[in-house]
Structure formats: structure tokens, C-alpha cells
Amino acid sequence: MNQTTVILERINQRDEIPGHELRDLMRDDGYLYSMTSFYGQMDRMESEGLVRRERREFSEHGMNFRAAFYSITDAGRNYLRGSDPMNWEQKFAAIKNLHGGSGGCLRMRKPGDWYVETSGLELKHGEHMLRSPCGNGETPEAAVNSYWESLTTPGSLIVRGAMRESRKCFRWNGFMLEEVGE
């Protein structure tokens, strides 16, 4: 089970949970080793629309504190259920739409060997590295789903026209491709 799933399950067990309690639970489970890695993970999950963070004050043992409280979003629940709000044809239409409606082809190398071909789309992980998304499968549906999974990997930024002045960036926020800045 990946760390994102464990965190979402912990939050989903309650309506909301203070960040420090969630961090302690995760550390006890052996998933997180530092505050920095925990809050980095939570920032990523919030930017992807999986969780909602609210900062507020609370009292405990006669003392006042300020803390982040986390709750799960509908996109986070969908992530846990593994339910996919889009079928493969809708995903393929979204892939083509990233090119203004004209890009993206579904090709067959030989019977039982399909792939999605696009040009001008890259994935950005970290600060400088770009890589091309890929999708292969035995059926058109499997190829599109594979490509979609590589395109919507948590933490990745989709870059269209990376070397052009018309460069644009997008991110999958759990229910739609959203144009974002770098």
C-alpha cells in the first residue's frame, strides 16, 4: 500500500484530523520519518485536490495552539475507491484536447499491441527533468488507460510545447486537467 493511500485512509476514518496527530500515526506505522517529508507529502496531496487543509486555533490542556486540520475531498475518496470517473474514450478525448483537439493517435503495431502516440507532451518531475508519457496495451482501452495513468501520476506536471513560446502546463487535480503555472 502506498503512502498516499495510507494517509487518505487515516483521514477518511474521521471527519477531520489535526496534522500533528496524523503525522504521529503515520510515524508509528513506519511510513514517515521527518516532519519535512510529512508536510511535503501533505502539500502535494492538497495541490492535487485529494485533501483539504484548514488552519485554526484549538485548546488542549488549558493551552491554545494553532494547527492544520485535514479532511478528505471527493477526489480523495475516489482515489481510495479506485473508481475512475472517466471511461477510456473520455480519457482519450482529454488527451487529444491537450493538443487543442487535434493531437493524439491510437495506433496498432500488430494485433494485440496498441499504443497512444502524441507529440509535444512531456511530463515534468522535479525542477528540470522532462520525460515523455507512454501508454501500451493489448487493446485500445488498455493502451489509453496506461497512457492516462502515466499522464496523471501524482506530482507530475504535464507540459505542452516545452520548447515553444506557447508552452503551457497542466495538472490532473482529481477530476479535470487544470492549466497551472510552473
Closest CA to 26 of 52, 18, 155: 18
Q: Are strands 51-60 and 136-137 parallel, antiparallel or unpaired?
A: unpaired
Q: Which cell numbers hold the place of 25?
A: 500515526
For the stretch 75-116, pLDDT in tens is: 888 777 775 667 888 888 888 888 766 677 889 999 989 999
Distance between CA atoms of residues 55 and 40, nearest Å: 16
Q: Which cell numbers hold the place of 119?
A: 507529440
Strands (E), 74-144: 105-110, 113-117, 121-125, 129-131, 136-137
| Contact predicate 79/174, CB 8 Å | yes
For the stretch 41-61, pLDDT in tens is: 888 888 888 899 999 887 878
pLDDT at 134 over 70: yes
User: Is the CATH number of domain 3-81 1.10.3720.10?
Assistant: no
Domain ranges of the chain: 3-81, 88-180
